[in-house]
Amino acid sequence: MIKIAICDDEVTTLHQTKLYLEEYPILFSIDEFTSGEALLQSPEKYEIILLDIDMAGMNGIETAKKIRQQDKKVKIIYVTNYTDYTSFAFSVHAFAYLLKPVKKEELFQQLDEAFEYTKPHEPEWMDFQTEDGIVRLNLHEILYFSGFMATGF
């Protein structure tokens, strides 16, 4: 099951966002937090975090920096009242930025995009002639070639 965290110190926004998530056509496990500190104390690993930026205590930017130290893959979607934080959002590689009040259609669109990025890639195979014969490799698993020499052209 896909795990999502919502972290917002505005309880009304927190509950409304959860209600929207419950209407999405995919079933989620949803955890709610009212502070960045509480989110960071959770032992759970999330696929998506909906994170307010302007919170009492640790703000969403600092929270995201700490999350990124542990998890480079989680999709962080900022939910905020302010547009002037967008440059900070990029510094922690936020996936998206939604303005409050959150609109269900915009939230669903961002979730759709997040799931597109998390789909496993279909293997793309390529055959290579080596000294030992033909080797078939999944192109998504190749990180680099060393000592590669093309011949036969």
Those residues with Cβ within 8 angstroms of residue 149's Cβ, 6 or more apart along the chain or in another chain: none
Q: Residue 138 has what pLDDT? A: 78
Domain limits of the chain?
Answer: 2-118
Q: Residue 131 has what pLDDT? A: 82
**Tens-place pLDDT, residues 36-77:** 999 999 999 999 999 999 999 999 999 999 999 999 999 999
**Tens-place pLDDT, residues 13-24:** 999 999 999 999
- Give pTM, 2 decimals: 0.76
**Tens-place pLDDT, residues 107-121:** 999 999 998 887 666
Q: Residue 153 has what pLDDT? A: 45
Class of domain 2-118: alpha beta
Q: Which of 10, 61, 6 is nearest to 30 (CA)?
A: 6
